[in-house]
Amino acid sequence: MDNVLELRGVTKQYEDFKLDGVEFEVPKGCICGFIGQNGAGKTTTIQLILDIIKKDAGEIRVFGQDMQKDGAKVKEKIGVVFDEMCFHEFLTPNQINGVMKNIYANWQEEKFFGYLKEFGLPSRKKCGSFSRGMRMKLQIAVALSHEAELLVMDEPTSGLDPIVRNEILTIFQEFVMEENHTILLSSHITTDLERIADMIVFIDRGHILLCGDKNEILENHGLMKCKKEELSQIQTEDMVSWRQSEFSSEVLVKNRKECAQRYPRIHMEPATLEEIMIFYAEYSRKASQIVPEE
């Protein structure tokens, strides 16, 4: 399968933060959920992919091309949506259309106004007066109107009410169903990604902790709930991490079926993506208690 996006050993050093050897790839036709808590490195990674900031080391290829060498050509095929609107608030969608015609060679005016109508956005109203949901829809309309093959989005559904989020997620799903389009979707709203993502990349403190097919990740991981004294029965190599209260323990395991057979008396539940993210973050912080994944 062709990869639309490839990162190899990507590093960026700041005074108080380091993106350290980040590696993952996103296949064509995939929705990749890029998850992690605030400050984990999601936005830095996206800015590096888009060549907004320069990497210190590593390689980034989009559609097989180096963004630093072929960025202008590649960016024609990328649609971008940030968590904050990137247009001046005094502009109307009509005026934004005029601006975009001079930026993108493949700008499709008819499609843009079609999206405005579909999204219920007024074309002559200043976008500074739009609600957060309307602003997100406006950015998405722009991103989808210049024949983009890859959407790169940084927290596009953050702060939106459930109804608007549902509408936007549906738009993303429809986009990917057409012509093998691809999405890199940064978010900390794991329920959104459980619904639409094909693969998950989890970053924490500048390191990739987990990467793979979403369904396999959910199928393989399990949450064992046991009495405090039962925790010692569970082999360290089966654990990702654990947390304890005064009387009970919860353990995230990465081989649910095997552990269900190995510890039949301990209650096992499927783990949500949010629980997996939390326990892997604890895994990162408890290095002395964790056996590295094979």
pLDDT in tens, 209-226: 999 999 999 999 999 998
Helix, strand or coil, per DSSP, at residue 185: strand
Residue type, 111: K
d(C-alpha 290, C-alpha 10), whole Å: 25
* pLDDT in the model for residue 35: 93
pTM assigned to the model: 0.89
Integer Cα distance of 197 and 250 in angstroms: 26
What residues does 10 pair with on adjacent strands? 22
d(CA 231, CA 32): 35
Query: Confidence band (pLDDT; 50, 70, 90) for 160?
Result: confident
Whether the pLDDT of residue 202 is over 80: the answer is yes
Task: Evaluate whether 101 touches 109 at the Cβ level (below 8 Å).
Answer: yes
**Closest CA relative to residue 144, chosen from 78, 91, 83, 89:** 78
Instruction: Decide if 200 contacts 211 (C-beta within 8 A).
Output: yes
pLDDT at 291: 46
pLDDT at 286: 63
Helix, coil or strand: residue 157: coil
Give me the chain's average pLDDT, please: 90
Q: What does the DSSP 8-state code read for residue 1?
A: -
Q: What is the pLDDT of residues 242-294, one digit of tens each?
A: 988 878 899 999 999 999 999 999 999 999 999 999 999 887 776 534 444 44
Q: How confident is the model at residue 13 (pLDDT cuts 50, 70, 90)?
A: very high
Apex CA 30: angle with CA 25 and CA 31, to 5°? 100
- Tokens found for residue 109: 């005016």
pLDDT at position 159 is: 78
**What are the C-alpha distances in Å from 98 to residues 102, 126, 194?**
7, 14, 37
Q: How far apart are the C-alpha atoms of 34 and 222, rounded to whole Å?
A: 21
Other beta carbons within 10 angstroms of residue 168's beta carbon come to 21
CA dihedral (170, 172, 173, 176) in degrees, to 10, reads 160
